[in-house]
Amino acid sequence: EVWPGRPYPLGATYDGAGTNFAVFSEVATQVELCLFDERDKETRLRLPESTAFCWHGYLPRVGPGQRYGFRVHGPCRPEEGHRCHPSKLLLDPYARAVDGAVTWNEAVFDHKFADETKLNVSDSAAFMPKSVVINPYFDWADDRRPLTPWHETVIYETHVKGFTRLMQDVPEGQRGSYAGLCHPSAIRYLQKLGITAIELMPVHQFVDDHHLAKKKLSNYWGYNTIGFFAPHHAYSSSGTAGQQVQEFKLMVRELHAAGIEVILDVVYNHTAEGNHLGPSLSFKGLDNASYYRLEPDDARYYTDYTGTGNSLNVRSAHVLQLIMDSLRYWATEMRVDGFRFDLAPVLARELHQVDRLSAFFDLIHQDPVCRRCKLIAEPWDVGPGGYQVGNFPPLWTEWNGQFRDAVRDYWRGVDTAMPQFASRFTGSSDLYQSTGRRPYASINLVTAHDGFTLKDLVSYDQKHNEANHEGNRDGEEHNRSWNCGVEGPTRDPQVNALRARQQRNFLGTLLLSQGVPMLVAGDELGRSQRGNNNAYCQDNPLAWLDWENADHSLLAFTRHLIHLRRKHPTFRRRRFFEGRPIWGAESDIKWRMPSG
């Protein structure tokens, strides 16, 4: 029994009596809703209505826990950009939860492995994860957002799994999960450290890449999104379909109660479906030409500004709607406090070049929900003119790559680094002041998830990524690192003393500079990845926080620095220095030689 239902909201919406299903496809001639029972038996129902290219239907008595997917009938002509075929079970782009993972079988691809020009009509349902209907109700109690001002913010970049996977004070069943991250032991650590916000590496539902699965590796970082509304299922401690939503909300509520904001690292620039040889999991089979940027000369191929095979088509109104609906969902229903946009310039490429006047920025700035969130850009991508540090509009803060480079050069002794260092240390006014922004537009970082850890930065001159099985060809070549005289671990007390001092130099510079400091989880503990500067596929102790071998002296030093920053407003100014008398002093800033 299928009623006409409504075209909006998109996705599966449970109202207490039944569920409304709605999905966008401009090219479809028919869309089937596929329901799966506990034994994976499939029931197909044709969605009876199409309104403004949104296919929809309402099912009475269908409720939370129901697993489902879509099959789309329509043109399958890759050379024209269309890849619809009903043999492919597709995830709902608006699914609030996903159950299971992709099994890498040839059936999930729309072409034959032996000949990519031949259509693969094998049914993919047995190898696909399923979308799940959820109950949106959650008891938020007296939850209140911390609303920490930007100039008082100290960000801690961390990974949901890696942070607590080896934390002994967290019960074993909760380690590496949303529940583990909000366990009292984890929260006490964060509070004692003094940070005000955690920036979580991707928690949107993502896929482990096919090429990594063949190497028995996995996409640990998670920059391979397939569901922009669903918390990643593997980070749930319960293992029950749909329960990850409740657990994520619990994590946010408990962190808010501790005064800690939650910022999500979001990946709206590409999806896990890859290039023309990638799988057909959702967007490709629904409406390939609407969702992706295709090459104008041959629509079989994808325009790639991300280095991952595809780029979402932000020129499409429906893609912009998807992004904005997702952001609003996480800000309102999941109550997160901000977003860090991976490869943000991709979202501003309406034609080809990065455009500060793009529709994406306009939508963010006028939106009553999103404009109140903390907005952080990773201001570079791999396309032409992709390095955009300092070029984002007001309301936006940016990962300041120039701060990172200048500070690394200065402390490794590059002769020309002093002028750059001085500018970055005082808030990078040359980058942000002309656009009406403040020093806190600069998110200051010395390290990030991508690259050397702080300990490795002072211990290695060269990357050592052999564990990734890519012949050490992956990862950044130019790291601006210095091993202090010996490559890797050493028992030389002088070298180790110098490395300890250098780590403190970096932390002191990071936490006492104007702007917003971002500390990478584990840097305060002396965590090493043994020279691996691209541990994206290392879901193992190499990338997890090593609590047992923590450098407690370095941890105490880091806590002291964060406390010093919080105690003295001069380290977290809201305005740039002007070099003039202020409050009876000679000047608001003065430079001195070591001699005084």
Question: How, if at all, do strands 42-46 and 225-231 pair?
Answer: unpaired
DSSP string, 174-224: GTTSHHHHTSHHHHHHHHHHT-SEEEE---EEE---HHHHHTT---SS---
The answer to whether 342 is a known catalytic residue is yes
In contact, 46 and 29? CB cutoff 8 Å? no
In contact, 445 and 510? CB cutoff 8 Å? yes
The answer to whether 378 is a known catalytic residue is yes
The pair of three-digit structure tokens given for residue 189, joined into one six-digit string: 């650590």
Q: What is the 3-state secondary structure (H, E, C) of 504-532?
A: HHHHHHHHHCCCEEEEECCHHHCCCCCCC
In contact, 507 and 517? CB cutoff 8 Å? no
- In this structure, the dihedral spanned by the alpha carbons of residues 207, 210, 215 and 219, taken in order and rounded to 10 degrees, is -20
Taking phi over 0 as left and psi of -120 to 50 as alpha, with beta for the rest, 477 belongs to alpha
Q: Which of 209, 247, 325, 342 is catalytic?
A: 342
Q: What value, to the nearest 5°, has the Cα angle with vertex 210 and ends 208 and 211?
A: 110
Q: Which of 92, 208, 254, 378 is catalytic?
A: 378
CA 458 – CA 357 distance, rounded (Å): 41
Q: Name the amino acid, one letter, at 470.
A: E
- The full length of the chain comes to 596
Q: What is the CA radius of gyration of the chain?
A: 25
Spatial neighbors of 386 by CB under 8 A, at least 6 apart, are 305, 345, 354, 380
Handedness of CA 230, 233, 234, 235 (dihedral sign): positive
Residue 265, helix vs strand vs coil:
strand
Residues taking part in catalysis: 342, 378
